[in-house]
């Protein structure tokens, strides 16, 4: 595939993201305009819960989905609070919930604590809405813990497993993504992958698409099963589609 073809494929799988601490209504408006780019549209926008209604106003009638985050970014263990936050976000119009797994519980071996969180949110996220579980692989360190977290999230009902919040020193890595894809394949369930954080170039996007093609088979990676969590790669993808030399934009997290 040419760079333009790779970029077009990646663009359709993009969760265009603004989780900056100083996000504004105007920034959400701009994000949604990008998501509706005629070369797209992108798969989704991912915004703070307080901006879900704003995004819905901007995207009404479009195929672009609205994702938001809960238990973010710390991955706490208060199930009631997180399910309340999830219900509020869904009521506001969110189509997709990106839940941070209680990864500290996984690290100390309290798997029941982590599973309870995912299962409770799964019960709240119903109909055609998606649950993406963020493993925070950069904080799990050990490959065995990434395997454990992947299996736990899949068994508890995740529609996607996602690498990272983008708020820690280590975000998505090909090593973590490969472990997660192997877990998805072994599960024989229709679960997707979302690498997130640190993806800034067409080559970065291609690396994750190639991994998915190799492990899951060519054609598996579509917006229904594969997302890229970034805004930093957007300009590079557009530049490649237009045949321009692109430079990595500054990441927006």
Residue 245: the pLDDT is 63
Q: What is the pLDDT of residue 68?
A: 98
* Active site (catalytic) residues: 98, 162, 194
Low-confidence ranges of the chain (pLDDT < 50): 246-253
Per-residue confidence (pLDDT) for residue 253, from 0 to 100: 38
Chain segment 87-99, per-residue pLDDT in tens: 999 999 999 999 9
Domain boundaries along the sequence of the chain: 3-241
Reduced 3-state DSSP string for the chain: CCHHHHHHHHHHCEEEEECCCCCCHHHHHHHHHHHCCCCCCCCEEEECHHHHHHHHHHHCCCCCEEEEEECCCCCCCCHHHHHHHHHHHHHHCCCEEEEECCHHHHHCCCHHHHHHHHHHHHHHCCCCCEEEEECCHHHHCCHHHHHHHHHHHHHCCCCEEECCCCCCCCCCCHHHHHHHHHHHHHHCCCCEEECECCCCCHHHHHHHHHHHHHHHCCCCCCCCCECEECCCCHHHHHHHHCCCCCCCCCCCC
Global confidence as pTM? 0.95
CATH number among 3.30.70.1450, 3.20.20.70, 3.40.50.300, 3.40.50.1000, domain 3-241: 3.20.20.70
pLDDT score recorded for residue 247: 44
């Amino acid at each position: 595939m040419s760079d333009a073809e790779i970029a077009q494929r990646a663009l359709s799988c993009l969760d265009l993201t603004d989780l900056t601490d100083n996000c504004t209504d105007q920034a959400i408006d701009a994000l949604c305009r990008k998501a509706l780019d005629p070369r797209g549209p992108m798969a989704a926008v991912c915004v703070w819960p307080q901006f879900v209604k704003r995004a819905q106003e901007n995207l009404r009638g479009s195929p672009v989905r609205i994702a938001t985050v809960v238990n973010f970014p710390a991955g706490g263990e208060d199930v009631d609070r997180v399910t309340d936050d999830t219900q509020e976000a869904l009521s506001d119009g969110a189509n997709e919930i990106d839940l941070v797994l209680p990864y500290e519980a996984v690290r100390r071996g309290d798997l029941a604590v982590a599973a309870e969180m995912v299962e409770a949110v799964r019960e709240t996220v119903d109909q055609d809405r998606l649950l993406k579980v963020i493993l925070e692989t950069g904080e799990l360190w050990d490959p065995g813990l990434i395997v454990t977290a992947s299996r736990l999230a899949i068994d508890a009902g995740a529609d996607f497993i996602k690498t990272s919040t983008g708020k820690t020193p280590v975000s998505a890595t090909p090593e973590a993504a490969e472990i997660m894809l192997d877990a998805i394949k072994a599960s024989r369930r229709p679960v997707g992958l979302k690498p997130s954080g640190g993806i800034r170039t067409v080559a970065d996007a291609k690396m994750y698409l190639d991994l998915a093609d190799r492990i899951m088979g060519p054609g598996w990676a579509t917006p229904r099963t594969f997302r890229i969590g970034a805004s930093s790669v957007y300009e590079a993808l557009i530049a490649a589609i237009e045949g321009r030399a692109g430079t990595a934009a500054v990441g927006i997290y």
